[in-house]
Amino acid sequence: MHELQAAFAELIASPRQQALLQQARSVESLLARLRRLWSLPAWSDARLMQALEQASQAAAVPATALLAGGWLPHRYEARTRSIQWCLPDGPATEPFHDEYISRCLQRRLLNQFIRPRTPLAGLCADSVPRHLGHRPAGFIFHLSRCGSTLVSGSLSELDSTLVLSEPPVFTELLLDTSLDHTQKREGIAGLVSAITVAVPGRQDLVVKWNAWDIFQWELLQDLYPEVPSLMLVRDPVEILASHHRQAGRHMSGDPSLAGASPVFRCGRSSQPFVSMLDHRMRVLQAMMERMRGLHESRGVPVLHYSQLGAGAMEQIARRFGLHASEAARQRIAVRLGRHAKALDQRFSPDGQDKAAVFGEGDRQAIEARLGPLHAQLLQCAHPLMDAEALHAA
């Protein structure tokens, strides 16, 4: 078994061996190539697959070997404090990072049989030389349902970007209440360093965080003080109408988010549960107040959903220090005409439909509670200005 573990580790770290196996077009062909590579002609398919599973679960592969082999960290498991890796399938262009990971797992045959793990502590200490990675180019924060997926998708069309749209590996690590501030900080730093070297030629990392990650601002700012950020907002009636139709995780009463902010704890004694709409208004109010505070105290720029268009995308790119070629601009123009979360559908403005979701009483309650905050954020929002002015903001 020791020799097999050594062969497994060598395969993990060797793009050449991986390339040989990737030529296989079926499971049978892959296993046959692996038998030849490891000189195991008598092993059955079942025995070899079992050995691969055991080797993958061993969590003994050093992070440096995974970096050498071009692997991408994609999942964090809090119970074992371990990171799971896969081979990337080019840059991510899907609306959300979990969709991209699904593509990697489905299209790269090796990912279906080789699933290496490393301890989080190994990723932090091992071990990942920070100079190998790149500092992120920019961070996108948002209230949810306010154009952030459109922005991240548009930036993914640039030639140099690697866009992570709400990556689950970051999400679950930040929500692990058993980790302290330092462990989370080191974990995110290790993941960023590993991710930025996993896809060659895509050195400009842009992260679209979850809506609730606005409450992780201090941790992320402390880690990357020079990385530019922006915050996206929208009419709260339209945001809540979207969640009324299909609630996001932070608007569903999910107790696992309470570690990010107490506001997500639905029905606590100081905030008795009244209705789902009341809970969602309370969550949205807390996020809006956080954004207002960050704009006032840190000067983080605010953009409104109504401002998002081709000009705004180029301004955002420039704020993040990204270059948009003419070909990239054309791709962005095509993307702007599609539904941000369903790229096979054309975009159709739905503001009026969203405004009609609530009855008069609910709409008035939303406007009374959140309207003044929305007006303040709208005043903070930069109009479409020249790119140098936005970059200097």
How far, in Å, CA of 78 to CA of 66, rounded?
A: 20
Residue 250 has pLDDT above 90, yes or no: yes
How far, in Å, CA of 71 to CA of 86, rounded?
A: 6
Are residues 79 and 47 part of one domain? Answer: yes
Are residues 65 and 143 part of one domain? Answer: no
Are residues 352 and 258 part of one domain? Answer: yes
Are residues 373 and 240 part of one domain? Answer: yes
Look at residues 99, 124, 149 and tell me which one is the last residue of a structural domain: 124
Q: How far apart are the first and last CA of the chain?
A: 58
| Category of 70 on φ-ψ map: left (φ > 0), alpha (ψ -120 to 50) or beta | left
Are residues 144 and 3 part of one domain? Answer: no
Express each pLDDT in 130-153 by its tens digit: 555 678 999 999 999 999 999 999
Are residues 235 and 155 part of one domain? Answer: yes
- Show the tokens assigned to 178: 């058993």
What's the pLDDT band for 125 if we cut at 50, 70, 90?
low
The answer to whether 146 and 211 are in contact (CB under 8 A) is no
Residue 344 has pLDDT above 90, yes or no: no
Are residues 243 and 367 part of one domain? Answer: yes
DSSP annotation of 383 reads: P
Q: What mean pLDDT is predicted for residues 61-83?
A: 91
For residue 393, the model assigns a pLDDT of 34
Nearest by Cα to 5 from 44, 57, 67, 69? 57
- CATH of residue 252's domain is 3.40.50
User: Quick check: is 129 in a domain?
Assistant: no
User: Quick check: is 131 in a domain?
Assistant: no
Are residues 327 and 292 part of one domain? Answer: yes
Amino acid at 97: H
Nearest by Cα to 250 from 292, 208, 211, 285? 211
The CB density around residue 199, as the number of other CB atoms within 10 Å, is 18
Task: Say how many domains are in the chain.
Answer: 2
Are residues 120 and 229 part of one domain? Answer: no
Q: What angle do CA 69, 159, 146 make, to 5 degrees?
A: 105
Are residues 238 and 90 part of one domain? Answer: no
Domain span including residue 60: 1-124
Are residues 106 and 222 part of one domain? Answer: no
Are residues 238 and 105 part of one domain? Answer: no
User: Quick check: is 130 in a domain?
Assistant: no
Lowest pLDDT segment from 77-81, 319-323, 352-356: 352-356
Nearest by Cα to 169 from 200, 195, 144, 201? 195
- Show the tokens assigned to 240: 């809540």
User: Quick check: is 78 in a domain?
Assistant: yes
